[in-house]
Amino acid sequence: MKPIKVGLLGLGTVGTGVVRIVEGHQEDLSNQVGSPIMISQILVKDRAKGRNIPVEGSKLTEDPWEVVRNPDIDVIVEVMGGIAQTKEYILEALERGKHVVTANKDLMALHGPEILEKARAKGCDVLYEASVAGGIPIIRTLIEGFSSDRITKIMGIVNGTTNYILTKMSQEGAAYSDVLKEAQELGYAEADPTSDVEGLDAARKMTILSTLGFRSNVSLDNVSTKGISSVTQEDIQYAKHLGYAVKLLGIAERQDDYISVSVQPTMIKQSHPIASVNGVFNAVYVHGEAVGETMFYGAGAGEMPTATSVVADLVAVVKNMKLGVNGRQAQLSYNVVKLKTDEQIASKFFLLLHVEDRAGVLAQIAQVFSNRDVSIESVMQPSTPNMSSTEIIIITHDASKAAMNNVLNDFESLSAVRKIKSVYRVEG
């Protein structure tokens, strides 16, 4: 049987896992697809670098065009990362009729529609399961498993690095910077971890999930994004005390034809299944009109979980090759994106205020909420004896984002409020 030849772009964390699985599971894989799968060329930045697995030196190249233009290669597996150059390589590979598997959420979130369009025109597959939530097969699930339903909400912990950091801060009282360093050493974080901690990585993944879930081309600009760098140990401890966990949540919601997509540190009730997703694990909660609540859980980053998704895509491409159906994906984005306004986006909120500790202050604060038509669910004032200032914690009932912004603006000019220390969306 003629082997299927693969050109691997990148031999870092994920690429190494891909080689391990393709070589280690060769018999199983070839039984499934009816041909051996062979990694015939590997692009790296530095051929002289030591590798964690044995690789024949003759397979390594530093020239990307040697791989993407190699006429013997059937499938390009892109696990090198990057956007502009990588897009060029992928478009060139498609132009030459090669199928593509990628783990690159940055590329797919920004240029997915263009790349998929090119693939369709050339009769090629582009599969990207590993781009969101590492080892969880959520992309295939949204495309196929939910094809009969109308999704109303997708809520996900889709960044392993930040979940690892928040878990360690919560469970061990660890310092943010120490845990970030650990996550980098474990291969979870991006080359530049700013995109993890500032929420951009999660926003890119939510762009992909909401595009698939709402069947419309959501763009990264449509995702309101805030990361975890301002989350404090104090916030986490207050959340715990009130029965919440702090998680970086991606939340995509649809009401009628209007959608909103956001990423932000969120306080979620400890009784919600997503609140107990800890460490580098990811989870995606999906609510469909017909199916109701579902949740998908697994490792969201790291060598082997991510490589499993990449190689599963490779198997799917080869099966399609055998059937002669590559590039015949259904039209996935046929709805026009209509974004909710801030008046239409509603949730509960948590506020931690630093206020003057004297008669009448609580009444002034309550008056601001009343003026802006925001209803308070609970108020807590931890005792701070012998001080002229104190902290007040307020949880609201559902309020619009616009009304909440008005409340916060009013507090800025209220002298009794010395500082708005924290504001969180509350879920569950």
Task: Indicate which single residue of 112, 300, 305, 327 sits in contact with ligand HSE (rule: CB under 6 A).
Answer: 300
Which whole-number Å values give the CA distances from 10 to 79, 86, 100, in the listed order?
A: 5, 11, 14
Is 308 marked within a binding site? no
SS3 265: strand
Q: Which of 122, 205, 247, 348 is catalytic?
A: 205
Instruction: Provide the binding-site residues for ligand NAP, judged by CB under 6 A.
Output: 10-15, 43-46, 49, 79-82, 103-105, 130, 134, 187-188, 190-191, 301-302, 306
Binding of ligand HSE by 134 (CB under 6 A): yes
Q: Which one of ligand HSE, ligand NAP, none interacts with residue 43, CB within 5 to 8 A by kind?
A: ligand NAP
Distance CA 283, CA 154 (A): 10
- With binding defined as CB under 6 A, does residue 78 bind ligand HSE? no
Retrieve residue 24's tokens.
Answer: 């280690």
Rounded to the nearest whole angstrom, what is the least distance from the CB of residue 25 to ligand NAP in the complex? Answer: 19
- For the chain, first and last CA: distance in Å? 54
Report the side by side order of strands in the sheet with 75-78. Answer: 60-61, 37-43, 4-9, 75-78, 99-102, 126-127
Q: Which two tokens stand for residue 379?
A: 């108020």
How far is it, in rounded angstroms, from Cα 200 to Cα 181?
18
Q: Which of 78, 106, 201, 427 binds ligand HSE (CB under 6 A)?
A: 201
194 annotated binding-site participant: no
* Nearer to ligand NAP (CB atom), residue 45 or residue 358: 45
CB distance 17 to 79 below 8 Å: no
- Residue 298 binds what, of ligand NAP, ligand HSE, none (CB under 5 to 8 Å, by partner type)? none
| Least Cβ distance, residue 101 to ligand HSE (angstroms) | 15
Say how many C-beta atoms besides its own lie within 10 A of residue 135's C-beta.
Answer: 21
Was 213 annotated as part of a binding site? no
Binding residues for ligand HSE, how many (CB under 6 A)? Answer: 11
The DSSP letter of residue 216 is B
Cβ(163)–Cβ(157) under 8 Å?
yes
Residues 152 to 171 in contact with ligand HSE, rule: CB under 6 A: 159-161
- For this structure, is 205 an active site residue? yes
Residues annotated catalytic, as ranges: 205
In the annotated binding site, the residues are 9-16, 105, 190
Applying CB under 6 A, the residues found at the interface with ligand HSE are 134, 159-161, 188-190, 196, 201, 300-301
In the annotated binding site for NADP(+), the residues are 9-16
